[in-house]
Structure 1
Amino acid sequence: MPDEGPKTDSDDEDREDEHREDEDVAFQRLLADLIAAVERGERVDRDALDRDYPRYAKSICEFLDDHERLHGAVDELFEPPSEEDPYATLHSSEDHRSGSRVWSLARFGETEFPISFGDYSLLREIDRGGMGIVFEALHCSLNRVVALKIMRTAGLASEEELRRFRFEAEASAAIKHPNIVPIFEVGEAHGLVYFTMAFVDGEDLSSLVRRRQIQPREAAKIMSKVADAVATAHRQGVIHRDLKPSNILVDEKGEPYLIDFGLAKQEESRDALTCAGQILGTPAYMAPEQASGKCIQNPASCDLYSLGAVLYELLTRQAPFHGPTPFDVLLQVVDRDPARPRQLCKQIPRDLETICMRAMEKDPAQRYPSAEQMQLDLQRFLLNEPILRPRPTLSDRMQMWWRREPILVSHLCGIFSVLLVVIAAQLIRETDSQNTKLKVTLLLVWLVGSLLFQRLSVVNRMTDVAHWLWAAFDVATYTTLIYWADPPRGLLLVGYPMMITASGLFYRARFVVFVTSVCAIGFLLLCVSVEDPMTLRTDFCVIYLSGLVVLGLCLVSMIRRVRGLSDYFGRGNE
């Protein structure tokens, strides 16, 4: 055996560091599993924990005790009384404004009254998110209805969470605009941090879009006011970073109000805004540079992209990008352009489509220079005046087409390349004209089928079905083309591994398995149906088929690893 040389202290230190890293990862996974079990109501066996993980048992038990005390305090404060209490009954009534259930406590012999919280009476829960719970509340001293937001993690919150919660209140209070909900008070009661803001009697844009179709001019009017509010925030150095339909409330008169500055940042604090590797926001409405976690040179441009994404949903009733997981949505945000709104609804005016797509440009430099400029274009549209139209070059148009329809463009390039080869072969070698006509016809069928599947893929509920059918159609068409080709056909078999590799760009393991399977079936059908030098070598067929399977398995392994890393770091950012 070769001499490996003497072991040094640095080698031991490296092994110890690796061992500690493995233990840290194991500890994090164990803690996550235990918290999930507690949330499901399962009992944690502490004796087994102390026996199996003596190093971590004490720390974990202390953490679980704190977790139980926190939930007990919150449940005692906000949960309705038990039906076993003979002096309390639980009543529920239908709220005529929101349709939600309103829970209140009524003691025996007394009139109904809400839950007391400091100087406020909580009337009902409006909404809850990652940072806090929002209630409709009555400010007893001033006798006015407000929206009261309570931080969920209370005393166990980290300094970063407390800072974010306070900054949300400070950012909203600092901006004076009629379409930004004003902040009244920041305080603490029962050990819980809260702030109050004006109560908007209405619904958010997300609910409004689900309930009814918003007309283009109405959408432009709403977004004009929201863009003006965002422009005011930008002038005061505040970047929202989480603009989406659910963060825009619309009252009964149709007036929009911007809320939830929980992810907002001061523009001058560049270090916090441009932290590499940090993804904050909602994927479907997130700017590409924000989704990729890269350094952001112009943070305000992220809000401009989100304004365009919200306008897109108002016009089309669907988000610009959608997928089975946030990871799939992020991939599309970074690499693809959305389908143009008029592809989904022909009634959308071209000028409004232009405003929407300009705000959603991948390159921040190609977007509106400011939210104020976008608001001015929306005003021009509402006044039937011409909007500003930057003239894209031919290169810009080609790049936009490629980003918007990468699958279709790839198919068109491949189909036309094969078509040119078939026609050139016919002219040079003067092969059977009847066979050439069949090939050309098949290529035209492939072209028409690709256009049809592309149209289906932009429909929200048909996207997945269209992609799976499209893949099967590609393999079937390509197999038929090889069947009609003249021997030797060996070089044409490169198409199968190309299709399998292309399926990996969707980052979906089952899709790769499906494409690999249909490619293998197509190759086997060729082996038993054509007379070709390749079919005379059984070992060649076995090796080639094994290569397809190995390629598919490698892609599946890579996709699962990437998705696992994405889920791990995604939980860390929540």
Structure 2
Amino acid sequence: MSSTEIVQQFKQLNRSSPQFPDQLTSLLYKKEYRECIPNLKDEEVVWLIEYLDDVCLSVLLVFLSCFPHRTQILDTLQADPSIPAFRRCLRELRRICGAREQLPKSYMLESSLLISGERPVASGGSGDVYEGSLNGSKVCVKRLRIYAGERIPVAKETLHREAVMWKRLTHPNIVPLLGVTLEPLQLISVWMSGGELREYITHHPGTDRLRLVFGVASGLTYLHFRNIIHGDLKGPNVLVDDTGSPRITDFGLAIVAQIQDSIRSFQGDSGHTARWTAPEILGGNGRHSKEADVFSFAMTMVEVFTGQVPFHPNSPHAAMLAILNKKRPQRPNHPQITVELWTLMESCWDHDPHHRPEISTVLKTLGDS
């Protein structure tokens, strides 16, 4: 079957039909479809990218009314018949955009409309962050740092894949991605006026810490439901919006940062990530996983209740050794940490990843608190 015939099959699908999700999923799993993808003409690639992106966007509208219901979110989403089709559709969109280093038109922002400061307000292993303005609105500009090396094509492919993933996430505890510029390569997101998590707590010491923890757990539950691993969950990667709600950012970029010889990694800088990192990763025996995210979430809880990094005031190296030697932070002296909550934290940072609870279970426990 030719690539033209495959594209024609997509065009013949009736998107208003109740059978559309199943028909789309079936087509995306077809052997003929998989075999023809490498042979798609440039114009066919562009059409398919726009088609898959439009389907993903339409399915996202279903989610918007679900989020205010706290722990009912997952039940509502799991009951929606469009979810399997959405997952497959987004997976294909990420794969094609990565392989061809292209993005849907809806992702692209004109550099001429973007104004950013001359000096970064923050810097990290994967790039520099600038305060910017887009059409009169304040935005966050993350300029990604790519280094010379033979793995640049792999880095660019991964960055395209992660941008696709981020743009199609919609949740009140996730920082929205507005779009991308290619020259230079920048990710543009909504500006979070409350700053990083610890910064917000410093300026609002009386804030409800349990509410912040629940918000982070809710955002992470959403990511894991979408089969997305954050890879670098910690206070600096949780920003607070103007309503005081925490929003997770930079998911996927930590994984991108591990592509050697192309992007300098936070992971290689023990002054940053080690305090939050699961022992199986620090020991070199494990990969980023949902279980590792849950470990990092427990360490982020320590940040929320103490206003300090985990293992403060010890050095990052000492913190790393402590984690590897099965030592954990002491119980914070905070009135909201009950015996039940402390037990939950201990289970989340269990040395054995298989003994850690799923984040959806953590969210439910927090919701019942």
TM surpasses 0.5 = yes
Aligned partner of 1:138 among 110, 117, 133: 133
Aligned partner of 1:373 among 350, 361, 365: 361
The one-letter amino acid of 1:148's match is V
Q: SS of the residue aligned with 1:172? A: helix
Q: SS of the residue aligned with 2:133? A: strand
How far the C-alpha of 1:138 sits from its partner, in A, is 2.2
Aligned to 1:187: 181
Q: SS of the residue aligned with 1:232? A: helix
Aligned to 1:338: 328
Q: SS of the residue aligned with 1:150? A: strand
Gaps of 5+ in 2: 1-109, 261-265
1:352 equivalent in alignment to 2:345: no
Distance 1:352 1:184, change over 3 A: same
How far the C-alpha of 1:362 sits from its partner, in A, is 1.3
1:308 equivalent in alignment to 2:298: yes
TM-score normalised by length of structure 1: 0.39
1:283 equivalent in alignment to 2:274: yes
Q: SS of the residue aligned with 2:188? A: strand
Distance in structure 2 (CA, Å) of the matches to 1:214 and 1:294 = 41
Aligned to 1:150: 143
The one-letter amino acid of 2:212's match is I
Aligned partner of 1:362 among 351, 359, 364: 351
Distance 1:263 1:150, change over 3 A: closer
CA offsets 1:23-62 (integer angstroms, 9 cap, x no match): xxxxxxxxxxxxxxxxxxxxxxxxxxxxxxxxxxxxxxxx
The one-letter amino acid of 1:144's match is S
Distance in structure 2 (CA, Å) of the matches to 1:206 and 1:166 = 30
Distance in structure 2 (CA, Å) of the matches to 1:145 and 1:213 = 26
Tell which has more relative contact order, 1 or 2 (C-alpha 8 A, sep 6+).
2
Identical aligned residues as a percent: 25
Q: SS of the residue aligned with 2:180? A: strand
- Compare the two structures and name the one with the higher helix fraction: 1
Distance in structure 1 (CA, Å) of the matches to 2:312 and 2:190 = 33
How far the C-alpha of 1:123 sits from its partner, in A, is 4.5
How far the C-alpha of 1:347 sits from its partner, in A, is 6.6
The one-letter amino acid of 1:194's match is Q
Distance in structure 1 (CA, Å) of the matches to 2:267 and 2:127 = 20
Instruction: Spell out the pairing of 1:289-328 with structure 2 (5 A cutoff).
Output: 289-296=280-287, 299-322=289-312, 325-328=315-318
Distance 1:163 1:321, change over 3 A: farther
CA offsets 1:257-313 (integer angstroms, 9 cap, x no match): 1111244559xxxxx9xxxxx9677111111112111034x8101111111111112
CA offsets 1:137-174 (integer angstroms, 9 cap, x no match): 2224xx43322221234777833443454344233223
1:232 equivalent in alignment to 2:227: no
Distance in structure 2 (CA, Å) of the matches to 1:197 and 1:159 = 24
How far the C-alpha of 1:208 sits from its partner, in A, is 2.6
Aligned partner of 1:204 among 178, 196, 200: 196
The one-letter amino acid of 1:354's match is T
Q: SS of the residue aligned with 1:302? A: helix
Distance in structure 1 (CA, Å) of the matches to 2:238 and 2:127 = 17
Distance in structure 2 (CA, Å) of the matches to 1:339 and 1:178 = 29
Distance 1:134 1:203, change over 3 A: same
Distance 1:214 1:302, change over 3 A: farther
The one-letter amino acid of 1:336's match is K
Aligned to 2:67: none
Q: SS of the residue aligned with 2:172? A: coil
Aligned partner of 1:261 among 235, 251, 266: 251
Distance in structure 2 (CA, Å) of the matches to 1:145 and 1:155 = 32
CA offsets 1:442-494 (integer angstroms, 9 cap, x no match): xxxxxxxxxxxxxxxxxxxxxxxxxxxxxxxxxxxxxxxxxxxxxxxxxxxxx
How far the C-alpha of 1:379 sits from its partner, in A, is 0.8
Aligned to 2:87: none
The one-letter amino acid of 2:344's match is I
Distance in structure 2 (CA, Å) of the matches to 1:185 and 1:173 = 7
Distance in structure 1 (CA, Å) of the matches to 2:329 and 2:199 = 23
Contact 1:182 1:198 in 2 (8 A): yes
- Flag the structure with larger Rg: 1
Distance in structure 2 (CA, Å) of the matches to 1:148 and 1:346 = 38
Contact 1:279 1:290 in 2 (8 A): no
Q: SS of the residue aligned with 1:257? A: strand
Distance in structure 1 (CA, Å) of the matches to 2:283 and 2:127 = 27
Contact 1:301 1:367 in 2 (8 A): yes
Distance 1:328 1:340, change over 3 A: closer
Contact 1:239 1:264 in 2 (8 A): no
CA offsets 1:179-230 (integer angstroms, 9 cap, x no match): 11122222222xx211212222221112234445456xx2221121211111
Contact 2:229 2:252 in 1 (8 A): no
Aligned partner of 2:122 among 117, 127, 133: 127
CA offsets 1:98-150 (integer angstroms, 9 cap, x no match): xxxxxxxxxxxxxxxxxx9533111474322112122222224xx43322221
Instruction: Spell out the pairing of 1:369-408 with structure 2 (5 A cutoff).
Output: 370-381=358-369
How far the C-alpha of 1:325 sits from its partner, in A, is 4.4
Instruction: Spell out the pairing of 1:408-487 with structure 2 (5 A cutoff).
Output: none
How far the C-alpha of 1:237 sits from its partner, in A, is 1.5
Number of aligned residue pairs: 248
Distance in structure 2 (CA, Å) of the matches to 1:345 and 1:195 = 37
Q: SS of the residue aligned with 2:129? A: strand
Contact 2:347 2:355 in 1 (8 A): yes
The one-letter amino acid of 1:377's match is T
Distance in structure 2 (CA, Å) of the matches to 1:314 and 1:373 = 20
How far the C-alpha of 1:317 sits from its partner, in A, is 3.0
